[in-house]
Amino acid sequence: MTALKGFTIILTLLLVLTACGGAETGAGADYAEAPQAIEAPAAPSVGMEDLLNTDESLALEEEAASEAPTDDSSARRDQQLGNANQSQLQRLVIRNASMSIEVAGVREAESAIRTKVDELGGYIVEVQTNGSEEESMTARMTFRVPSERFDDALSGVQGLAEKVRSRSITGTDVTEEYVDLDSRLRNLEATRDRLAGFLEDASTVEEALQVNESLTQVQGDLEQIRGRMQYLEQSAALSTFTIDLAPVPSAISLIQPGWQPLEVASEAFANLVEFGQELVNVAIVVLVWSPVWLPFVALIWWVRRRFIRTRAGKTGSSPA
């Protein structure tokens, strides 16, 4: 009986190994013919029934046979999912645009862009305005729209422009980076699963701590890769537009608007009359104060006249 049990255990191990080998073979052959991968593990059951005709071995055989296709089916589904992802994977291109345009009215253009963005299924990120007067107001708008509506958004903005000062369209292909990140993600997930198994089998606290530290690091790397992949997906799915709006410059006029020559002449005449009035006022003040300043003026005049006569007399009496 003991020998029978030992023989049963050995055959069971062989059966499990055979099932695992069949699963790997089925997964590798899935590229050529997927249905054979599911049927492959059932072959060892015939030999097993002939070798061991006991209820215990038959039960083990049926259990292993039932589990083997399950594992193989899981591998096949993963492979099919990978193939589907490869077939559905398109080029990830991040497309952005920036424009500087002149518009007839900044407020009207801003409102029209908001409406267009809503129609395209996008959203406004930021709006900056400078100035309050319509003639001097400028604005900068940043918005995002689905990448498949990129051309519609571009033509919609250009349709509002009286003049396009500048335009820049950029495209960055991140497909290679995304595929590389996806490969690293799968490898790290497999490493995480293995570390989780090691953590369960750890026999000492020290081993558990070491495995847990490695598991934490791998988990952090996984989160970073997922975040980067999500950023690339969102950036490729939505295009960013940066639009500078400015009013059309008004024409320079040689004649200042609102010039009134008659008003200028009238103002000049009024200033002349005011100046004459000031002169008359000064004359009246001088005349009124004449009793005060007139004697001083007369005294100065007399002294000067006498000095001149005295000097003339001395000059005439001097010898030749």
Query: Both 168 and 234 in a single domain?
Result: yes
Query: Both 64 and 19 in a single domain?
Result: yes
Q: Does the reported pTM lie above 0.75?
A: no
Residue 279 resides in a domain: no
Query: Both 110 and 233 in a single domain?
Result: yes
Query: Both 104 and 142 in a single domain?
Result: yes
Residue 288 resides in a domain: no
Reported as a single tens digit per residue, the pLDDT across 178-207 is 999 999 999 999 999 988 888 888 888 888
Residue 192 resides in a domain: yes
What pLDDT score does 207 carry? 84
Query: Both 100 and 206 in a single domain?
Result: yes
3-state secondary structure 76-139: HHHHHHHHHHHHHCCCCEEEEEEEEEEECCHHHHHHHHHHHHHHCCCEEEEEEEECCCCCCCEE
Residue 265 resides in a domain: no
Q: Rounded CA gap, 284 and 282, in Å?
A: 5
Query: Both 46 and 117 in a single domain?
Result: no
Reported as a single tens digit per residue, the pLDDT across 50-98 is 433 334 443 434 444 444 444 444 444 455 445 445 444 578 999 999 9
Query: What is the CB neighbour count within 10 angstroms for residue 60?
Result: 19
Query: Both 21 and 114 in a single domain?
Result: no
Domain count, the chain: 2
What pLDDT score does 66 carry? 43
Q: End of a domain among 63, 88, 113?
A: 88
Q: End of a domain among 250, 271, 298?
A: 250
Q: Rounded CA gap, 244 and 232, in Å?
A: 26
Q: Rounded CA gap, 16 and 68, in Å?
A: 8
Q: CA torsion, points 43, 49, 51, 53, in degrees to nearest 10?
A: 170
Domain that holds residue 68: 2-88
By C-alpha distance, which of 141, 142, 146 is closest to 94? 146
Q: End of a domain among 57, 88, 119?
A: 88
